């Protein structure tokens, strides 16, 4: 017999709690950026955002940035997060240059409307980490960024004075940066060897000569460079003035004169009155060069009063009420333990992370869900899998509605081509920093979504790592049509790294390492096929294009693991895959074919060498 009194009491209590939460939430919002009046104010971005201005002495700034670098340069899986923001002006001088390193979870950015508004006379560098006397590498130099400033390179001595060094791997973007006075080097050639690096991403930047060096692969988009030194396996350029000519695979340059579609990342800045704003760059099509070469960057400016500024202690219900009330969201530096999803409901909402704000779902729900609307921008975030498996960590559009739509042939999902949603500098982790699992990291059910610098990583080292520990099937699943990925890296997932079901997809630059740790061939078998291809375009897709793809193996369990194909696509006229190659890095086993049974085998007999297919079919 049902206890109706108990159920009624429980329902009343739940309703009372909901009302209480809403009242408390409204009270909390009244003292935040949500309820600020029309007067612009200097928002409090929390204790981990350092804002410098030119009135400060170089020695004062130097002490602060050095203190943070000393903590963060080796702090790969720590919880500390920082944003170092420079107001318009000049910092450092020939007599006292400002020279500093950028460590993990550190964002360095100018607060001007243009990169020309902030100049650092000195160096902003990332160097190799030396784990032993003969093991100095940049392979783990992840999760840091530099943007929206000019570096007039000067200072330091000896080898390190010869360039500004940005020796990084994945998840370390450089955006809207102007480098003058010396070369930009993506390899730290001043340390002991072997100096390996595995980057990388540069966009909307202007530099002199660029030293690629040991960088296995790199993607440069919508920039201007004074030359490029060399290629290794997969160097890709779109819309880059001064880029080397198309020549894949010898050397391995993939070059397109323009970027078919792009949108720069939103950024925080101050106007001429010192008011904080967020600039939202416009969508560009068939573009080249930097967006800031003219008088104004195309786009719109939004007042900080349109944003709710959250901290890691902010309850997710408060965040969601702010979004429900029509606010956009700034997530200040820190780690957010989420008991529910952050729910983006309305068109043109911005979710902007500062200082690598990190989201960790605790209940198995996605960290972020987005309804099928126009123009949402999500940028500057790390999303970690949590202790309870999530079906997806970030989900755009509804998978259930998409499935029904496809099943019944309604084709009712919206056309967002004039104002697509975009994800910029969004990075996913399964394990490494914290134990966790998620079936899919990023699931896209909406049409026309634009991805711009995405790294999805099932950890191969750190906390909570093992074949049956940090479980994850896919890094990216695309069900929407006309989705574009610019700068996509997906690594170590246990099934297809990328599963692309939608029509009209396009990827420019793809980097992938297969899982290191399959314990047996039977544990990593897709039906009758050995292994799972890294990148799969499903038979439901009739059209797809991709340019500049590198897929690598390092099976490190001492077992002869075989992958039949690194990539599989339908054999239809609407498919065109340009410049795809495989490399055997180390370990055992092999990748038998590059794509659909074509391409030479990558194994220990040709380790370190590129096995290319220039065009398929």
| H helix or E strand, kind and range, residue 438 | strand 438-444
Task: Give the end-to-end CA distance of the chain in Å, rounded to a whole number.
Answer: 67
- Asked if 581 and 235 touch (Cβ cutoff 8 Å), the reply is no
What is the residue-wise DSSP string for 524-553? GEETTEEB--SEEE-TT-S-EEEEEEEEEE
What is the residue-wise DSSP string for 199-219? --EEES-B-S-EE-TTBSEEE
What is the residue-wise DSSP string for 225-291? -S-B---SSEEEEEEEETPPPP-TTSS-EEEESSEEEEEPPPEEEE-TTS-EEEEEEPEEEEE-S-T
- Asked if 275 and 119 touch (Cβ cutoff 8 Å), the reply is no
Q: How far apart are CA 183 and CA 212, in angstroms?
A: 11
Buried-exposed string 376-408: b where 16+ CB fall within 10 A, e elsewhere = bbbbbbbbbbbeeebebbbbbbbbeebeebbee
Alpha helices (H) along 336-411: 399-408
> For residue 352, how many other CB atoms are within 10 A of its CB?
23
Q: How far is CA 131 from the centre of its chain?
A: 26
3-state helix, strand, coil in the chain (%, to 5): 15, 45, 45
Can you tell me whether residue 507 is helix, strand or coil?
strand
Nearest residue to 595 via CA among 526, 522, 527, 537: 537
| H helix or E strand, kind and range, residue 326 | none
Q: How far apart are CA 584 and CA 603, in angstroms?
A: 5
Residue of 264, 443, 491, 513 marked catalytic:
513
Q: How far apart are CA 575 and CA 129, in angstroms?
A: 42
- Asked if 328 and 305 touch (Cβ cutoff 8 Å), the reply is no
> For residue 3, how many other CB atoms are within 10 A of its CB?
9
Q: How far is CA 203 from the centre of its chain?
A: 12
Peptide bond into 200 cis (omega under 30): yes
Q: How far apart are CA 409 and CA 244, in angstroms?
A: 45
What is the residue-wise DSSP string for 146-180? EEEEEEEE----GGGGSEEEB---SS--EEEEEEE
Catalytic site includes residue 563: no
CA distances from 61 to 81, 84, 87, 241 (A): 18, 10, 12, 35
Q: Which residues are catalytic?
A: 513
């Amino acid at each position: 017999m049902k206890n109706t009194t108990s159920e009624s009491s429980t329902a009343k209590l739940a309703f009372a709690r909901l009302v209480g939460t809403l009242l408390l939430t409204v009270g909390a919002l009244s003292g935040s950026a949500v309820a600020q009046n029309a007067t612009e104010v200097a928002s409090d971005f929390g204790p981990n955002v350092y804002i410098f201005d030119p009135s400060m002495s170089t020695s004062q700034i130097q002490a602060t940035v050095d203190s943070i670098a000393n903590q963060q340069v080796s702090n790969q899986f720590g919880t500390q997060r920082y944003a170092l923001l420079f107001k318009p002006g000049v910092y450092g001088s020939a007599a006292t240059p400002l020279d500093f390193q950028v460590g993990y979870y550190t964002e360095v950015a100018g607060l001007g409307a243009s990169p020309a508004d902030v100049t650092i006379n000195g160096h902003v560098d990332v160097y190799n980490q030396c784990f032993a006397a003969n093991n100095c590498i940049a392979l783990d130099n992840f999760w840091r960024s530099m943007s929206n400033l000019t570096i007039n390179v000067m200072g330091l001595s000896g080898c390190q004075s010869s360039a500004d060094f940005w020796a990084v791997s994945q998840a370390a973007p450089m955006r809207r940066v102007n480098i003058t006075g010396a070369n930009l080097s993506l390899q730290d050639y001043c340390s002991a060897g072997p100096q390996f690096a595995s980057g990388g991403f540069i966009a909307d930047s202007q530099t002199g000569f660029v030293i690629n060096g040991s960088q296995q692969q790199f993607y440069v988009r919508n920039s201007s460079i004074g030359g490029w030194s060399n290629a290794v396996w997969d160097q890709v350029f779109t819309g880059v003035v001064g880029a080397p000519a198309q020549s894949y695979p010898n050397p391995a340059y993939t070059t397109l004169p323009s970027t078919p579609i792009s949108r720069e990342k939103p950024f925080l800045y101050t106007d001429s009155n010192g008011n904080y704003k967020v600039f939202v760059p416009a969508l560009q099509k068939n573009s080249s060069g930097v967006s800031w070469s003219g008088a104004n960057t195309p786009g719109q400016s939004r007042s900080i009063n349109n944003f709710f500024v959250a901290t890691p202690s902010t309850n997710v219900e408060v965040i969601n009420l702010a979004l429900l009330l029509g606010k956009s969201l700034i997530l200040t530096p820190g780690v957010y333990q989420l008991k529910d999803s952050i729910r983006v409901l309305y068109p043109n909402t911005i979710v902007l992370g500062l200082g690598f704000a990190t989201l960790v779902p605790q209940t198995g729900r996605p960290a972020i869900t987005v309804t099928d609307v126009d123009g949402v921008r999500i940028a500057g975030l790390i999303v970690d899998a949590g202790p309870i498996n999530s079906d997806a960590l970030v989900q755009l559009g509804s998978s259930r509605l998409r499935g029904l739509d496809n099943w019944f042939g309604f084709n009712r999902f919206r056309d967002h081509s004039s104002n697509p949603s975009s994800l910029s500098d969004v990075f996913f982790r399964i394990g490494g920093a914290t134990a966790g699992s998620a079936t899919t990291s990023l699931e896209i059910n909406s049409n026309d979504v634009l991805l711009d610098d995405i790294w999805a990583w099932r950890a191969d080292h750190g906390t909570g790592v093992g074949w049956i520990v940090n479980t994850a099937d896919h890094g990216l699943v695309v069900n929407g049509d006309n989705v574009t990925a610019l700068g996509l890296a997906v690594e170590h997932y246990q099934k297809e790294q990328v599963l692309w079901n939608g029509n009209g997809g396009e990827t420019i630059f793809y980097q992938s390492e297969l899982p290191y740790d399959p314990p047996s061939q039977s544990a990593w078998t897709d039906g009758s096929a050995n292994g799972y291809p890294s990148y799969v375009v499903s038979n439901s897709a009739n059209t797809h294009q991709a340019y500049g793809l590198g897929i690598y193996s390092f099976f490190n369990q001492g077992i002869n693991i075989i992958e039949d194909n690194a990539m599989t696509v339908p054999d239809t006229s609407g498919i065109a895959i340009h410049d795809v190659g495989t490399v055997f890095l180390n370990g055992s086993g092999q990748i038998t074919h590059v794509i659909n049974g074509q391409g030479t085998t990558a194994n220990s007999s040709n380790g370190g060498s590129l096995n290319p297919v220039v065009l398929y079919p």
